[in-house]
């Protein structure tokens, strides 16, 4: 008698899991087969295609002429543009052409939103994205990521100003990131929990690897560029001195936001990019970095703030607005905020005393 390696039930479960692709999962999440649900499912599928194309390029970049290094250009952020930045940005544009899904794209790499005319009357979604986040890591083969945010277009944007994008992060319909690491992982939420997919290169599909990810309420990790210590305001310095003097904290910082956030999401702790002397508003961009990650983190039971205001409440004045970011486990974000609140209170008390003297 031949005994199957895996009993039928186990085989069936494994097969069902391998069939839980991105597009199917979105429909399960939305519990609907409506036109809007189908559109979001197809949109996520296109993001998955972009991720596969970028992942393929990254894994072979060291062997491809002209894939690595800088273009010699400077982007709207005033940052040196890597060739991979341009490639990844073009990939996101290419996967949405002739899709009818997305009328506008807004990217860290493009000063103005990019319109896809054939999609515009029908496609009512806008994709905001950072095509390659942490591109300084690309040339040294360390992890990088892509970050995306999905918003509904409001109004007809007749003048092409895309002013309807300048709204709070609560307006996001969905958000996520792709981490290009030892494996390529796509993490997303459509407002019904956070779910992780791993690219199976043998299938060329993202397969569900973890559902309803929950960030621990506290974790040991604090993730910050301590080289900026001299540029921070006093309360942030006080927080760093605190974690230096108390057992149970570990510093981890990769220089690439997506990898640092992924670690916090799964192991707990806090990531900080506070305002600095050179960048008082912080370095990270609100609409396509902080807000989508805040959406995810809150869906996973964590928090994200500027240090004084929830990120999802911040309304940007311009497309490429920056914001300070404190994000991660509820308790750890609250601890950072407590140092800021205490410092502000002491400042007010001292000012009141000075005013009376």
List b or e across 233-248, with b for residues whose CB sees 16 or more CB atoms inside 10 angstroms. Answer: bebbbebbeebeeeee
What's the min distance (Å) between Cβ of 139 and ligand P6P?
13
Q: Rule CB under 6 A: is residue 99 a binding residue for ligand P6P?
A: no
Binding to ligand P6P (CB under 6 A): which residues in 256-275?
256-257
C-beta closer to ligand P6P: residue 257 or 300:
257
Q: Minimum Å distance from CB 226 to ligand P6P?
A: 9
Looking at 82-90, 131-139, 213-221, 340-348, which segment touches ligand P6P (CB under 6 A)? 131-139
Residue 147 contacts ligand P6P per CB under 6 A: no
User: Judged by CB under 6 A, does residue 136 bind ligand P6P?
Assistant: yes
How many of the chain's residues bind ligand P6P (CB under 6 A)?
8
Q: Closer to ligand P6P at the Cβ: 48 or 131?
A: 131
Name which of 26 and 304 has its Cβ closer to ligand P6P: 304
Q: Please tell me whether residue 109 binds ligand P6P under the rule CB under 6 A.
A: no
Pairing status of strand 325-328 against strand 269-273: antiparallel
Identify which of residues 283 and 330 has a Cβ nearer to ligand P6P in the complex: 283
Considering only the stretches 53-61, 128-136, 151-159, 326-334, report the one whose residues sit in contact with ligand P6P under the rule CB under 6 A: 128-136
CA dist 26 → 13, 98, 148, 187, 236 (Å): 19, 21, 16, 12, 39
What is the SS3 assignment for 280?
coil
Half-sphere exposure of 323 (CA within 13 A, CB side): 30
* CB of residue 175 to ligand P6P, shortest distance in Å: 16
Task: Name which of 143 and 209 has its Cβ closer to ligand P6P.
Answer: 143
Strand segments (E) across the chain:
70-74, 80-82, 102-107, 114-115, 125-133, 144-152, 174-180, 184-189, 195-200, 205-210, 221-223, 250-251, 269-273, 303-305, 325-328
Among 52, 283, 303, 330, binds ligand P6P (CB under 6 A): 283
**Binding piece for ligand P6P, criterion CB under 6 A, among 40-48, 239-247, 250-258, 292-300:** 250-258
Check residue 98 and give left, alpha or beta (phi > 0: left; psi -120 to 50: alpha).
left
Tell the smallest beta-carbon distance from residue 134 to ligand P6P (Å): 4
Which residue, 217, 221, 224, is CA-closest to 330? 217
| CA 184 and chain centroid, separation | 15
If one asks whether residue 133 binds ligand P6P (CB under 6 A), the answer comes out as yes
Among 153, 225, 231, 341, binds ligand P6P (CB under 6 A): 225
The Cα–Cα gap between 353 and 15 comes to 70
Give the strand pairing for 250-251 and 221-223. parallel
Task: Tell me the two tokens of residue 318.
Answer: 């311009």
Per CB under 6 A, residues contacting ligand P6P are 133-134, 136, 225, 255-257, 283
């Amino acid at each position: 008698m031949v005994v199957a390696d895996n009993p039928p039930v186990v085989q069936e479960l494994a097969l069902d899991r391998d069939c839980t692709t991105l597009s199917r999962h979105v429909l399960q999440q939305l519990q609907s087969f409506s036109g809007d649900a189908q559109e979001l499912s197809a949109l996520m599928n296109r993001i998955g295609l972009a991720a596969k194309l970028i992942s393929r390029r990254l894994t072979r970049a060291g062997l491809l002429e002209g894939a690595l290094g800088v273009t010699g250009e400077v982007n709207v952020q005033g940052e040196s543009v890597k060739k991979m930045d341009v490639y990844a940005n073009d990939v996101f544009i290419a996967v949405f052409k002739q899709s009818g899904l997305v009328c506008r794209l807004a990217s860290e790499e493009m000063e103005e939103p990019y319109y896809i005319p054939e999609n515009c009357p029908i496609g009512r979604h806008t994709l905001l994205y950072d095509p390659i986040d942490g591109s300084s890591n690309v040339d040294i083969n360390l992890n990088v990521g892509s970050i995306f945010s999905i918003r509904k277009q409001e109004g007809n944007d007749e003048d092409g100003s895309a002013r309807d994008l300048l709204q709070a992060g609560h307006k996001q319909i969905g958000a996520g990131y792709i981490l290009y690491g030892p494996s390529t992982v796509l993490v997303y939420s459509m407002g019904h929990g956070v779910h992780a997919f791993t690219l199976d290169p043998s299938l060329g599909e993202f397969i569900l690897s973890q559902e309803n990810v929950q960030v621990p309420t506290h974790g040991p990790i604090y993730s910050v560029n301590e080289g900026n210590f001299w540029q921070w305001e006093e309360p942030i310095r006080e927080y760093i001195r605190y974690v230096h003097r108390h057992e149970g904290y570990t510093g981890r910082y990769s220089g690439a936001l997506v990898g640092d956030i992924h670690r916090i999401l799964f192991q707990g702790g806090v990531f900080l990019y506070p305002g600095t002397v050179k960048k008082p508003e912080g370095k990270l961009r609100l609409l396509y970095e902080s807000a989508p990650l805040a959406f995810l983190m809150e869906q996973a039971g964590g928090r994200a703030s500027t240090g004084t205001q929830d990120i999802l409440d911040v309304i940007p004045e311009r497309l490429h607005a920056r914001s300070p970011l404190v994000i991660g486990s509820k308790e750890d974000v609250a601890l950072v905020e407590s140092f800021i609140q205490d410092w502000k209170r002491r400042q007010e008390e001292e000012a009141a005393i000075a005013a009376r003297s």
